[in-house]
Amino acid sequence: MRISFVGVCIAPTQNSLGYVMNQDKKGGKVVRLLDTTLRDGEQMPGVSLAPQQKLEIALALAELGVDSIEAGFPITSRGEFEAVRAIAREIRGVEVIALARAHKADIDKIIEAEVPAIHTFIATSDLHMKYKLRLSPEQVIEKAVWAIEYAKSHGLVVEFSAEDATRSDLQFLAKVFQAVVDAGADRIDIADTVGIAHPSLISFLVSYIKSAVKGGYILSVHCHNDFGMAVANSVTAIESGADQAHVTVLGVGERAGNAALEEVASALAFLYGYKVKIDFSKINRVAKLVARHFGLQIPPNKAIVGVNAFSHESGIHVHGVLSHPLTYEPIDPTIVGAERKIVIGKHSGKHAVEYVIKQLGYEPKEEIVLDVLNKVKELADQGIKVTWDMLIKLVKEEYNG
Ligand code: MN
């Protein structure tokens, strides 16, 4: 049997979890993840981190195994400069990078902070060039090339982003990228600054830039979530030949945020079969740390790191999961440092109650199981949320009279 994936005919294969995977995309390609939780993420409205908090998150990201940590935008403030400098000093074995406009003052701050890599950018869409930059397309290329040459002359690794790339003239975008690659840029990045791309558009753009721009560069994407497409766009870009995606923990970032690290990394590794250097067992812990420092509640239904991502209540699902967890779970929760939770409520069945009774050290008797289940359902029908403590009390009353 042969299955067609987006026009490519390949033999389907199934991984150990039973998923059908697109075999020809495997072969051990390692995808780079540039984490920008501490830069784009911190630009989330209403969020401001102290240097110590930024350092703590950077250390956790290094342990998690991202390839680059974008530490901040040093020209912004004294504290930001200090935080970026501290991160560049403390982090070993993972690239630390910082943001700069194509301005001398911005780049000088990065050199002064002793950051080894720079992420410099300039807008390439007509809209931004005309109304924001007030520069001609030729002046934009000139400034970009100057910034690359200046940063390279100071020995920095250089990543260049074309801001608003997804709304830029295609030929002009390729021309800018070619000019910066010729000037020595190590990586070029297609920024979907206002999140208007969708998978087929990003796929086309990645293929177009890869064929139009010559040279040895790493191609990256930076996707925003204005239409809820950031993760889909990021993984599609990788599937179309990009080498790197910009991500943030929990998808924090400007407006509706960026592509979520935990989702992009998990999809790439578990669904597509790419290699990422992430230690997945730490991903839930890092998400909790970021939520705490950003002052956020992780939505319960958030993929991979939400409290409900591996929770089960409905009788049919609990019965399945207790017989074999993969019946209603895509992966073992321990892979991503999470726990399976059996929640008792209106939708519960007797298998869930039996499970709870056994966990409390009692022998589950049929009539007691049904009695507890009926009481739980009566409470739930009155709109009362049955907590773990209430449940323990119910079970103990049954056994102790
Ligand atoms: Mn952004």
Domains of the chain: 3-294 (3.20.20.70), 311-400 (1.10.238)
The encoded tokens of residue 114 equal 């002793």
In the chain, what percentage of residues exceed pLDDT 70?
93
In percent, how much of the chain has pLDDT > 90?
81
Residue 120 CB neighbour total at 10 angstroms: 26
CB environment 263-299: b (16+ within 10 A), e (fewer): bbbbbbbbbbbbebebebebbbebbbbbbebbeeebe
Average pLDDT over residues 355-359: 88
Provide mean pLDDT across the span 245-253.
Answer: 98
The letter for the amino acid at 79 is G
Q: In angstroms, rounded to a whole number, what is the distance separating the alpha carbons of residues 345 and 384?
A: 9
pLDDT at res. 318: 87
Ligand 1 centroid to 165 CA: how many Å? 11
Q: How do 117-123 and 32-35 pair as beta strands?
A: unpaired
What per-residue confidence (pLDDT) applies to 386? 85
Q: How far is the CA of 163 from the centre of ligand 1 (A)?
A: 8
Across the range 124-136, mean pLDDT stands at 96
What pLDDT score does 359 carry? Answer: 86
Q: Is the pLDDT score of 21 beyond 80? A: no
pTM value is 0.91
**From ligand 1's centre to the CA of 25, what distance in Å?**
28
- Compute the distance from residue 129 Cα to the ligand 1 centre, in Å: 17
Ligand 1 centroid vs 140 CA: distance in angstroms? Answer: 19
Least confident of 11-20, 175-184, 203-212, 281-290: 11-20
**Exposed/middle/buried for residue 84 (C-beta within 10 Å: 0-12, 13-18, 19+):** buried
Decide if pLDDT at 378 tops 50: yes
Tokens standing for 118?
């720079």
Cβ atoms 119, 162 nearer than 8 A: no
pLDDT-derived band at 315, boundaries 50, 70, 90: confident
Poorest-pLDDT segment among 225-239, 259-273, 378-392: 378-392
Residue among 116, 78, 124 at smallest CA distance from 97:
116
For the chain, what is the HEC assignment?
CCEEECCEEECCEECCCCCEECHHHCCCCECEEEECCCCCHHHCCCCCCCHHHHHHHHHHHHHHCCCEEEEECCCCCHHHHHHHHHHHHHCCCCEEEEEEECCHHHHHHHHHCCCCEEEEEEECCHHHHHHHHCCCHHHHHHHHHHHHHHHHHCCCEEEEEEECHHHCCHHHHHHHHHHHHHCCCCEEEEEECCCCCCHHHHHHHHHHHHHHCCCCCEEEEEEECCCCCHHHHHHHHHHCCCCEEEEEHHHCCCCCCECEHHHHHHHHHHHHCCECCCCHHHHHHHHHHHHHHHCCCCCCCCCCCCCCCCEECCHHHHHHHHHCHHHCCCCCHHHHCCCCEECCCCCCCHHHHHHHHHHCCCCCCHHHHHHHHHHHHHHHHCCCCCCHHHHHHHHHHHHHC
**d(CA 307, ligand 1 centre) in Å:** 27
d(CA 122, CA 299): 34
Q: Which of left, alpha, beta for 155 (phi over 0: left; psi -120 to 50: alpha)?
A: left
Ligand 1: centre distance to CA 46 (Å): 16
Mean pLDDT of the chain: 92
pLDDT of the residue at 14: 61
CA–centroid distance, 324 to ligand 1, in Å, is 42
Ligand 1 mean position to 118 CA, how many Å?
Answer: 15
Cα–Cα separations (whole angstroms), residue 321 to 305, 328, 335: 19, 6, 16
Res. 390: pLDDT tops 60:
yes
User: Quick one: average pLDDT of 238-245?
Assistant: 97
Ligand 1 centroid, distance to 236 Cα (angstroms): 18
Residue 7: what pLDDT?
39
Mean pLDDT of 26-45: 91
Q: CA 271 to CA 114: how far, in whole Å?
A: 38
**How many whole angstroms from 39 Cα to the centroid of ligand 1?**
9
Contact 367, 54 (CB under 8 A): no
Residue 127's pLDDT is 95
Q: What is the pLDDT of residue 1?
A: 35
Residue 80, pLDDT > 80, answer yes
244 within 8 A of 34, measured Cβ to Cβ: yes
Q: Mean pLDDT check: name the lowest of 1-15, 32-46, 133-147, 331-345.
A: 1-15
Q: In this model, does residue 133 exceed pLDDT 90? A: yes
Name the residue type at position 13: T
Q: What is the mean pLDDT of residues 336-348?
A: 90
CA of 265 to the centre of ligand 1 (A): 18
